[in-house]
Structure 1
């Protein structure tokens, strides 16, 4: 594991690299607006996918690196992601643009212009909680590249059955909330929820070619 600071027009970002020995792809994953790269799903992917030939780059947006507690506007998040992209592409491998929550929106909005190989959208915030009329579906549908959504079954930002038809794939994490936490009464375990995520992403990546 190595870290790299990258200057962007939105400030300094930071990449934590989890490298595969014989990498064929890079999966770059950004965090959400309410947390950082310590999120359980991001850490699970970083711990698992290098064993499948995928280097995982966990990207901290400039606002997090600067110690701020509130995420900036979407336009500024996109600026930070664009600024990090050359470093992500430097290994010369196809790059999957990914993120959780707000980071998933960034990945979808910028995928086509940056030449992303595909998009991984973890806990895509389809709408604000309780406001289904405020749909962000067009960001997801407009990604323009192969896309995988991984969504908790009880995500208040959009349950799997709320998602519109489209050319993307969707994996449901049963009982999972927006952070993929599962309640004890669910009859499953947190470990199993994370396995669904890592196994699903690994299988999808393998099928991308």
Structure 2
């Protein structure tokens, strides 16, 4: 398994960060999130799913992806024994992590952080993909943009509100990739810092 690590000298927690379906662990957004979290005391382990390592455009089956999540979590636990451990990721990576956790608890993981949970396909609003979240027994943080085409805000609220251990943080003007339009008055950098601030504070 290919991994990348961003860590401060004395981390206070560790986060296992999975990539989305369209880009691997070295994508600029993944690198930026890892760097910003490391600056806030969070060690970050990024990794590639097998399909990305093989150069395929078709994401792995849930079983294969979930096995990769477990391997990455075990690697982070070995690297940073005793640190509070969190897992999750961008879009597909976050959903595969939650599915793995719902099936059988990820050893040592205290909570899940989702960077744009992909609730449904674009223009196909549904909450089917969230059913397994009821089986997740650790706290969850959902970071969701108001312009996310893969998670209509009303629907993500419907999903998160009944789950006692779930927290929703809404990122104004951001799309599924956490990019903003110039006319919003916000910059991508401001959004990135908001993501990192919110996630680091929640984990600590």
Question: What TM-score comes out, normalization by structure 1 length?
Answer: 0.85
What per-residue deviation string (whole Å, max 9, x for no partner) do you get for residues 36-68 of structure 1? 124454222211222332111111112111222
- Alpha-carbon distance in 2 for matches of 1:53, 1:76: 31
- Counterpart of 2:171 (choices 159, 170, 173) is 173
Please name the residue that 2:180 is paired with. Answer: 182
Q: Distance in 2 between matches of 1:133 and 1:85?
A: 30
Is the partner of 2:137 in helix, strand or coil? coil
Native 8 Å contact 1:28 1:57 kept in 2: yes
User: 3-state SS of the aligned residue for 1:58?
Assistant: strand
2:121 is the alignment partner of 1:128: yes
Please give the alpha-carbon distance, in whole angstroms, between the structure 2 residues aligned to 1:101 and 1:202. Answer: 19
Within the candidate set 92, 109, 131, 1:138 is matched to 131
CA distance in 1, matches of 2:43, 2:73: 15
SS of alignment partner, residue 56 of structure 1? strand
User: How far apart, in 1, do the equivalents of 2:27 and 2:137 lie?
Assistant: 27
Q: Pick from 91, 97, 108 the counterpart of residue 87 of structure 2.
A: 97
- The answer to whether 1:148 aligns with 2:141 is yes
CA drift at 1:200: 0.9
Q: Which shifted more, 45-54 or 99-108?
A: 45-54
Compute the displacement of 1:77 (Å).
0.7
The 1:159/1:133 distance shift into structure 2, 3 A limit, reads closer
Aligned mate of 1:117, from 107, 110, 130: 110
Matching residue of 2:202: 204
1:76 maps to what in 2? 64
Q: CA deviation at 1:147?
A: 0.7
The RMSD of aligned alpha carbons is 1.7
Provide the aligned length of Structure 1 versus Structure 2.
194
Counterpart Cα distance in 2 of 1:160 and 1:141: 19
Change (3 A) 1:80 1:51: same
- In the TM superposition, structure 1's runs of 4+ consecutive aligned residues that sit over 4 Å from their partners are none
If the length of structure 2 is used for normalisation, what is the TM-score? 0.87
